[in-house]
Structure 1
Amino acid sequence: MAVTARTDIKPHPSQPTALFTPVFILGWLVNLTQYLSFYFLITVMALYAMESFAVSEAAGGFAASSFVIGATVARVFAGWAADRFGKKQILLIFVGLGTVASLFYIPAASLPALVAVRFVHGFSYSLASTAVMALVQSVIPASRRAEGTGYFALGSTLATAFGPAIALFVIDDFNYNTLFWITTATSVFGLILTVLIRKPEFIKNAEHGRVKPVWSIKTVVHPSVMLIGFFMLAVGLAYAGVITFLNGFAQDTGLTAGAGLFFIAYAVAMLVMRFFLGRIQDKHGDNPVIYFGLISFALALGLMALATEDWHIVLAGALTGLGYGTIMPAAQAIAVDSVPSTQVGSGISTLFLFTDIGIGLGPILLGGLVAATGYNVMYAALAAVIVVAGVLYLVALGRKASH
């Protein structure tokens, strides 16, 4: 249920009440390196495959999306693995595997080899990102759950804003191999930081003697997280319309300058509000923050449907940061508070799975809508999807709130 700040979750007596502990800071940095490795490559991989192997746009797109396929497959095991074998152990193994995968981009001399590397990289990324989130959540004080989750999410926000820009700069001024070496160096740095993480004693004590979960469908789709998961599936579908079709929309409308600043505005808006919204969620419950995010996201999509000037797109980027950038960490806090402490990995993985499904279905479902009606109608339709998501939240979760 977990639609308000939980008061029934008691921290371990030896757990510190400080938020920015060594585990939190190192985990934040590891998470940043994982997301940077993803965003360095996702925006250029299709074009790289087409140029390097003389393949079609569809084949190039498959090379890019094979990372997501690997990540989605890993979701089936990620949460259970983190809960069963230990968050630090899984994090170390799969940050290491991701680092090895990064090394193989340069020698991958054919499209099948590149697809295989992308799949393994995505698989390891999914397990590592789930494990580091679960590990950090285990050291966030329960009374500061939303605040800590929001600060942690800033790493992925910064990677979203700056990763693609850095990649395009490197491609323009150097070459793809330079970008692959930068990605590898980033992964190596993340691996070193992972080795430095030391689990606090209260976590070791909590893990000692605990019953280790057996894999089942409930470890893939945790029942307690399904409602917020379906909500995030709809939100993820709308977000897919932004990240997938923004460039095409900008070129079609001649608003490329605004599109270039979209994610910068996104990151700045989320960065500013992150100092307030997490604390509000911890103190006053989930509803104020979720509704604020929904209204902001719906306004962003509506503005894109009506955009005629570059500043409209920049403002839509800021509103998307206040919208999706607010909803996602808030939903993560809800998911964590919905499950026992021994099942945090499964709870987080379930939420990510539903969100990934929404983002994955977006290009497929929305591509036909764009072809039939144009970008403006699509963004108006997505604004309506967010309204429907708001109704779903109100009926299924929001009414259960109590203060």
Structure 2
Amino acid sequence: MNVFRTFPASVRRNLGILFTAGLLFWSGLAALLPTLPLYIKATGATDQTVGFVMGAFAIGLIPSRGWLARLADNRGRKIVLLIGMSAVAFAPLGYITTQSIPALMAIRAFHGLSIAAFAIAYNALIVDLAPPQNRGEVIGYMSLVTPIGMAMGPAIGGFSQAWFGFTPMFLIASSLGMLGLVCTNQVQETFQAETSISNRPKSKQLFWRLLASPRIQTPAIVLMLIGLTFGCLSTFVPLFIRDAEVDLNVGLFYTAAAMGSFSARLLVGPASDRYGRGVFISLSLVLYVVSMVMLWRAHSASMFLLAAVVEGTGAGTLIPMISALMADRSYVDERGRTFGICMIGFDTGIAMAGPLLGTVATYLGYRSLFGISSGLAFLGLLIFLTCSNKTVFHSLRFALGVGADTFAVEAIDRTASLQSSK
């Protein structure tokens, strides 16, 4: 982490506050992972209904991505950070007030604003601060808030629910968000929209039209397929473990996944600055395939925990690398939008996972869901290997770490410069 010592004191302080806010955000959000499906189930809901309620999270995510991304690019990152943290702080209070399925779905949709806002602004602000030659390293280190928060949050939520019940657990999750709001308010804005561009016209491309861009399309499709597997994990693992009669606190599953994610992020960020993003994205997809197969065949607590570590390692590699990839492929005035539209794929996967896989679970059982998820992850790997760059040849080279990214801004600008000089 010596790279941080080269930053001015004001930047280090800003990153420190941002890191603390990120920890509180992910801890508050993840505290509900092992407990909310059980709370919904306790209202008398069916497996399919649990899937619909949990999937409603993405109803708040998908429609809000566009305007939140534009807000981050046009008005600055801090206001979007505050919106995301507010959703984490206040949504748990809403769950306490009702056991009505429609009301729970509405609250869950509001909760979806949290990731839509916070992830866009957090990643954009980090890229604003990071020098291009150390971009992967800084993103990797700053993204450690996710696995640490995902380790602490489920443990806090799982044990507080077991010891005190659902209402105190929701209050604790809300308190984490409230503390996060205090920290977020101290973040110093660095992005100035009106002065951020030099020697280039400001991008006017519409948010949704970005999805047609080949530099964004393939990462978005890959994230959609992985979003389906993530939605399966977040919704059905607690019910699967209980149905399999395995003696395992569900919170420990998510903690094990977070440990794998933490380890990956420490190593992958700096390495990607040297070897490229493609090979690590490919590796992460392989790990997702392996982890889903392991869950499909799991019959013991040790196998569940090992699968969680492998899945966490895959997630801890994939998300930071996609963030770095989108930063490489974006100009400064469109970072919020490019990351936001790319993450639409992940949102869509989560949205579809609950209702679609909940229906499958009704007829085939929970175990079959993870066999299906392994196939989805394998499909994502094939798509990335063949479609991540301008041709299949360039895609394979990039995905295997032996070729450059032809969609990177530096490569595009260099090509344009050569053409103009002829």
Query: Which TM bucket (shorter chain)?
Result: 0.7 to 0.9
What is the CA-CA distance between 1:132 and the residue it aligns to?
2.0
| Structure 2 equivalent of residue 167 of structure 1 | 157
* Contact 2:73–2:333, Cα closer than 8 Å, also in 1: yes
Contact 1:130 1:345 in 2 (8 A): yes
> Does 2:230 match 1:239?
yes
Residue of structure 2 aligned with 1:128, choices 97, 118, 126: 118
Deviation at 1:229, TM superposition (A): 0.8
Equivalent pairs: percent with the same residue? Answer: 23
Give the Å deviation of 1:135.
Answer: 1.4
Distance 1:260 1:102 in 2: 18
Do 1:150 and 1:274's aligned partners in 2 also have CA atoms closer than 8 Å? yes
Equivalent in the alignment of 2:145: 155
> CA-to-partner distance for each residue in 1:208-227, whole Å, 9 max, x for gaps?
99848575423677653111
C-alpha deviation, 1:82, in angstroms: 0.9
Provide the residue aligned with 2:396 in structure 1.
399
Secondary structure of the residue that 1:328 maps to in structure 2? Answer: helix
Once the two structures are superposed, residues 380-403 of structure 1 have per-residue CA deviations (whole angstroms, 9 ceiling, x without a partner) of: 343233222222111112335325
Instruction: Tell whether the 8 Å contact from 1:45 to 1:60 is kept in structure 2 after alignment.
Output: no
1:338 pairs with one of 329, 336, 349: 329
What is the letter of the counterpart of residue 31 of structure 1? G
Indicate conservation of the 8 Å contact 2:154/2:251, yes or no.
no
**Aligned residues of 2:34 and 2:250 also touching (Cα < 8 A):** no
TM-score for the superposition, normalised by structure 1: 0.82
> Which residue of the other structure, out of 321, 335, 353, is the alignment partner of 2:312?
321
How far apart are residue 277 of structure 1 and its match? 1.3
Mapped to 1, the partners of 2:307 and 2:186 lie a distance apart of: 40
| TM-score (ref. length: structure 2) | 0.78
Shift of 1:345: 0.5
> 1:143 is paired with a residue of what secondary structure?
helix
Distance 1:77 1:109, change over 3 A: same
Q: Could you tell me whether the CA contact under 8 Å between 2:155 and 2:252 is conserved in 1?
A: no
* Kept after mapping to 2: 8 A contact 1:258/1:313: no
Q: Which residue does 2:178 correspond to in 1?
A: 188
1:272 aligned residue: 263
Q: 1:120 to 1:301 in 2, by over 3 A?
A: closer
List per-residue Cα deviations over 1:41-92 (Å, max 9, x = no partner).
35434554666xx564466665554443222221232212211221123323
The one-letter amino acid paired with 1:23 is N
Distance 1:192-1:312 versus aligned 2 partners, 3 A rule: same
Structure 1 residue 377, shift from structure 2 partner: 4.5
Q: CA separation in 1, counterparts of 2:45 and 2:293?
A: 34
SS in structure 1 opposite 2:31?
Answer: helix
Choose from 115, 122, 131 the match for 1:141.
Answer: 131
Counterpart in the other structure of 1:88:
78
Counterpart Cα distance in 2 of 1:339 and 1:218 = 15
SS of 2:330's equivalent in the other structure is coil
CA contact (8 A) 1:83 1:213 kept: no
Q: Specify which of 313, 328, 351 is matched with residue 360 of structure 1.
A: 351
Residues of 2 paired with 1:216 and 1:273: CA distance?
31
Over 3 Å counting, the alpha-carbon distance change for 1:265 and 1:201 in structure 2 is closer
Measured in 2, the distance between the counterparts of 1:81 and 1:244 equals 31
SS at 1:387 equivalent: helix
Q: CA deviation at 1:328?
A: 1.8
Which runs of no fewer than 5 residues in structure 1 stay unpaired?
Answer: 1-14
Say if 2:157 and 2:169, in contact at 8 Å, map to a contact too: yes
- Structure 1 position 300 matched with structure 2 position 297: no
Residue aligned with 1:41, SS? coil
Structure 2 vs 1, CA of residues 29 and 190 (structure 1 numbering), >3 Å: closer, same or farther?
A: same
1:133 Cα deviation (Å)?
A: 2.0
Report if the CA contact (8 A) 2:293-2:370 is conserved: yes
2:28 maps to which residue? 37
Tell whether the 8 Å contact from 1:227 to 1:396 is kept in structure 2 after alignment: yes
Structure 2 match to 1:7: none
Amino acid at match of 1:361: M
Out of 62, 67, 89, the position equivalent to 1:72 is: 62
Take 2:243 and 2:310, find their aligned partners in 1: how far apart are those partners?
Answer: 22
Q: Structure 1: how far apart are the matches of 2:385 and 2:22?
A: 32
Bigger mean CA deviation after superposition, 346-355 or 168-177:
168-177
Asked if the contact 2:55–2:352 (Cα under 8 Å) also holds between the matched residues in 1, the reply is no
Q: Displacement, 1:173?
A: 2.2
Moved more, 305-314 or 57-66: 57-66
Partner of 1:3 in structure 2? none
Aligned to 1:206: 196
Among 274, 277, 280, the alignment partner of 1:283 is 274
Hey, what does 1:8 align to over in structure 2?
none
Letter in 2 for 1:35: W
Q: 1:102 to 1:376 in 2, by over 3 A?
A: closer
Deviations along 1:108-145, one digit per CA (max 9) or x if unpaired, are: 69666555444334325522332222112211221222
For 1:302 and 1:150, the matched residues in 2 are separated by 27
- Are the equivalent residues in 2 in contact too, given 1:30–1:132 (CA < 8 A)? no
Alpha carbons 1:16, 1:141 under 8 Å: kept = no
Task: Tell me if structure 1 keeps the 8 A contact 2:58–2:350.
Answer: no
Letter in 1 for 2:29: F
CA shift for structure 1 position 374: 4.6
Going from structure 1 to structure 2, the CA distance change for 1:47 and 1:296 (only over 3 Å counts) comes to: closer
